[in-house]
Chains A and B, each alone.
Chain A
Amino acid sequence: MKQPLTLLWLLLLPAIAGADTSLDKGKYLFQLANCYACHTDTPNDGPALAGGRALETEFGTFYTPNITSDKQTGIGNWNDQQFIMAVREGLAPDGSHYYPSFPYPAYRNISDNDLLSIKQYLFSLPPVKQTNKEHQLNWYVSRFLIGAWKILNDFSTYQAPAEHSRGAYLLDTLGHCNECHTPRNSIGILQFADKFKGNKTLSAPDISSGPEGIADWDTDELEDLFSYGALPDGDYVSEHMAEVVEFSTSKWTKEDRQAAIDYLRDH
């Protein structure tokens, strides 16, 4: 009796090991993309990934949605294609546009494979039943205008040549650093001519390699920032950046942090 069981175990092992590896990959990508910080209402000790986190912007307050696998209030009914369309194109399964407070313009360069690994990881976590909150936006902000906004944004973004290094994938795509650290115009389109030069409205500092940015930081200081949130003067980052460090950059491999540092030095 023992032998057939052993044989069965050996036959199943590659599949089990493969599943774990894929889940690990999905978890790591999920951390690189920092999904947790926005989709969890940490200030009010909300349940993981069930949304309800208030994002205060100059356009009003957005409340992030539930991205757990709950079928009624989360994304449990989404198929692979719907997940890809949501994250990369900002389109809900019913075809409506998401507001770009969800950084899909940054996520557009995530590969299919990586996106599906993230989905697989998300769906491996416990579902949470929590209804999404309505956004509270300024009167002029409307969902039906987002289609036009996307066209304008695409036109603007395509002026900037895409980069394909690991650092670019980490910071521009998954880490979506430009969303806070690059200034926007009056309709919220990122101004890539001033890439990483900060956004005063969000109190997000200049992280470019220029004199107002990180030119004076040595590599150890950048590593300290990414690994535990320390600033060069003995202080520590606060608010959203503290969450970026806790839930994302501190989980990155040393090689990825170095790739990110090298990319920052070049911009």
Chain B
Amino acid sequence: MNKIIALVIGSILSMPIFASDSPAEDNIEYRTSVMTAIRGHNNAIKLIVTEKVSHTDKLVGHIDAIKQLFGELDSIFPAGSGSDSGKTNAKNDIWEKPEKFNRTISEAKQALDTFRGIATQGDLSKTAVAFKEFGKTSCGSCHKSFKKKDD
């Protein structure tokens, strides 16, 4: 009898409903976490360059953190991790127009390098202006073409 009960419990536990997320959903969750981290560093930069906080010594550190996370952009959009696989704001154009997407990513990285170059000169007012340009040509540009609006 105990064997039968154990078999039934084992069968129930092995049913898909108790299984962990699919690899595609895990990919989406990881990607969302990376994007959330970028957003956090970006907001920290905004607070510094608008002089709402005084952590200017941390400015380049936040930029470098974004640079490291931008390095993952080439790998966190694997095929099969679009809206057919789970809840994501990534548009299908990412996979349907890979050349345009890769070009946008490349321009975003270039914009970050330009912004870093200005930020390391230590002029906060110039950095604030450059931050807006960075926002437009990196995150903003990519979101315009490749991110769906939040529900």
A-to-B contact residues, CB < 8 Å = 43, 45, 200, 203-205, 220, 224, 227-230, 233-243, 245-246, 250
B87, CB-defined interface residue at 8 Å: no
Q: Which of A203, A237, A240, A242 has the most C-beta atoms of chain B within 10 angstroms of its own C-beta? A: A242
* A-B contacts, CB under 8 A, total: 68
In whole angstroms, how far apart are the Cα atoms of A220 and B46 in the complex?
Answer: 11
In whole angstroms, how far apart are the Cα atoms of A204 and B150 in the complex?
Answer: 9
Question: Do the beta carbons of B149 and A241 come within 8 Å of each other?
Answer: yes
Instruction: Please give, as numbers and ranges, the residues of chain A lying within 8 Å of B40 by CB-CB distance.
Output: 234
Question: Do the beta carbons of B46 and A230 come within 8 Å of each other?
Answer: yes
A239-B148 CB under 8 A given contacts A43-B93, A220-B50, A234-B39: yes
A238-B89 CB under 8 A given contacts A43-B145, A203-B150, A230-B135: yes
Q: Which of B41, B100, B149 has the most C-beta atoms of chain A within 10 angstroms of its own C-beta? A: B149
Question: Do the beta carbons of A239 and B149 come within 8 Å of each other?
Answer: yes
Which one of B89, B144, B147 lies within 8 Å of A243 (CB-CB)?
B144
Question: Do the beta carbons of A238 and B143 come within 8 Å of each other?
Answer: yes
Q: How far is the CB of A14 from chain B (nearest CB, A)?
A: 38
Question: Do the beta carbons of A236 and B135 come within 8 Å of each other?
Answer: yes
B81, CB-defined interface residue at 8 Å: no
B67, CB-defined interface residue at 8 Å: no
Instruction: Please give, as numbers and ranges, the residues of chain B lying within 8 Å of A233 by CB-CB distance.
Output: 39, 43
Q: Which of A43, A238, A242 has the most C-beta atoms of chain B within 10 angstroms of its own C-beta? A: A238
List residues 17-50 of chain B with CB under 8 A from any CB of chain A: 39-44, 46, 50
Which one of B43, B44, B148, B151 lies within 8 Å of A238 (CB-CB)?
B148
In whole angstroms, how far apart are the Cα atoms of A246 and B100 in the complex?
Answer: 18
Question: Do the beta carbons of A234 and B140 come within 8 Å of each other?
Answer: no
In whole angstroms, how far apart are the Cα atoms of A233 and B45 in the complex?
Answer: 11
In whole angstroms, how far apart are the Cα atoms of A241 and B148 in the complex?
Answer: 11
Q: How far is the CB of A206 from chain B (nearest CB, A)?
A: 12
27 inter-chain pairs at a CB distance below 8 angstroms, sorted by A residue, are: A43-B93, A203-B150, A224-B132, A227-B132, A228-B132, A228-B133, A228-B136, A229-B135, A229-B136, A230-B46, A233-B39, A234-B42, A234-B44, A235-B39, A236-B135, A236-B139, A236-B140, A236-B143, A237-B140, A237-B143, A238-B143, A239-B143, A239-B148, A239-B149, A241-B149, A242-B140, A246-B144
Instruction: Please give, as numbers and ranges, the residues of chain A lying within 8 Å of B44 by CB-CB distance.
Output: 234
Identify the closest chain B residue to A241 (Cβ): B149
List residues 125-147 of chain B with CB under 8 A from any CB of chain A: 132-133, 135-136, 139-140, 143-145, 147
Q: How far is the CB of B146 from chain A (nearest CB, A)?
A: 8
Question: Do the beta carbons of A239 and B132 come within 8 Å of each other?
Answer: no
In whole angstroms, how far apart are the Cα atoms of A247 and B142 in the complex?
Answer: 16
Identify the closest chain B residue to A234 (Cβ): B43
Identify the closest chain A residue to B138 (Cβ): A236
In whole angstroms, how far apart are the Cα atoms of A80 and B113 in the complex?
Answer: 49
Q: How far is the CB of B103 from chain A (nearest CB, A)?
A: 11
Q: How far is the CB of A152 from chain B (nearest CB, A)?
A: 29
Identify the closest chain A residue to B100 (Cβ): A45
Instruction: Please give, as numbers and ranges, the residues of chain B lying within 8 Å of A205 by CB-CB distance.
Output: 150
In whole angstroms, how far apart are the Cα atoms of A132 and B99 in the complex?
Answer: 27
Instruction: Please give, as numbers and ranges, the residues of chain B lying within 8 Å of A204 by CB-CB distance.
Output: 149
Question: Do the beta carbons of B150 and A228 come within 8 Å of each other?
Answer: no
Given contacts A227-B132, A235-B139, 16 further A-B contacts (CB under 8 A): A45-B100, A203-B150, A204-B149, A228-B136, A229-B135, A233-B43, A234-B39, A234-B43, A238-B89, A238-B149, A239-B143, A239-B148, A240-B149, A242-B140, A242-B144, A245-B140
